[in-house]
């Protein structure tokens, strides 16, 4: 079931933050564009060259990311090209991108297969992310539950 909210938004599950996030950035290309924006890409050409994505698909994804407030555009000097930058909402996806990266490091590569590594300013690998309760205890799917809202609320 899809629910329309606003002028053109359709939510797969209007009460679930995970579903709404996936609706906004859950396709392969959108997340990779966000990843590359975090890594310094700012122009259409840079995104296209880094990703090898078809121009029409890149145009569509950039437009949607701007419409959804994840990227913002400005006109580059000379007025011919747009420059894309993450908004605060886009930058806030950093932890999600790191979580996907770390999951991939653990589950998408064999033990001897090379892969890129996210490092901090000192060149050391970033610590593993871990969901915690407010008391600092490890939180898992087995130790948490989702408090669902009633659609009538």
- Please report, for the chain, the start and end positions of each structural domain, with discontinuous segments joined by +: 3-92
The pLDDT, as a whole number, for residue 152 is 61
pTM, 2 dp: 0.85
As given in the structure block, the two tokens for residue 98 are 């790191």
Identify the pLDDT of residue 151. Answer: 65
SS3 80: coil
Cβ-contact 24, 61 below 8 angstroms: no
* CA terminus-to-terminus distance, the chain: 18
Q: How far apart are CA 150 and CA 85, in angstroms?
A: 37
| C-alpha span between 137 and 144 (Å, rounded) | 11
3-92 domain in CATH 1.10.10.10?
Answer: yes
Can you say how many angstroms the Cα of residue 52 is from the centroid of all Cα atoms in its chain?
18
Give me the tens of pLDDT residue by residue for the chain, a chain 153 residues long: 444 434 456 889 988 999 999 999 999 999 999 999 999 999 999 999 999 999 999 999 999 999 999 999 998 777 778 899 999 999 999 999 999 999 999 999 998 899 999 999 999 999 999 999 999 999 999 999 999 987 665
Q: Around Cβ 122, how many Cβ atoms within 10 Å? A: 5
Degrees (nearest 5) of the Cα angle 78, 82, 85? 125
Q: Find the angle CA(38)-CA(132)-CA(27) to the nearest 5 degrees.
A: 40
For tokens 């915690």, the residue is 132
d(CA 129, CA 132): 10
């Amino acid at each position: 079931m899809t629910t329309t909210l606003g002028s053109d938004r359709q939510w797969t599950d209007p009460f679930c933050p995970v579903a709404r996030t996936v609706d906004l950035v859950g396709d392969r290309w959108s997340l990779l564009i966000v990843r590359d924006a975090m890594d310094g890409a700012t122009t259409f050409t840079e995104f296209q060259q880094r990703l090898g994505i078809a121009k029409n698909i890149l145009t569509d994804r950039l437009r949607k990311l701007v419409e959804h407030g994840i990227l913002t555009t400005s006109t580059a000097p000379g007025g011919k090209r747009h420059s894309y930058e993450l908004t605060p909402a886009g930058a806030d996806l950093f932890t999600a991108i790191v979580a996907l990266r770390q999951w991939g490091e653990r589950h998408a590569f064999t033990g001897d297969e090379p892969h890129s590594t996210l490092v901090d300013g000192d060149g050391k690998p970033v610590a593993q992310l871990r969901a915690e309760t407010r008391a600092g205890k490890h939180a898992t799917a087995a130790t948490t539950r989702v408090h669902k809202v009633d659609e009538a609320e």
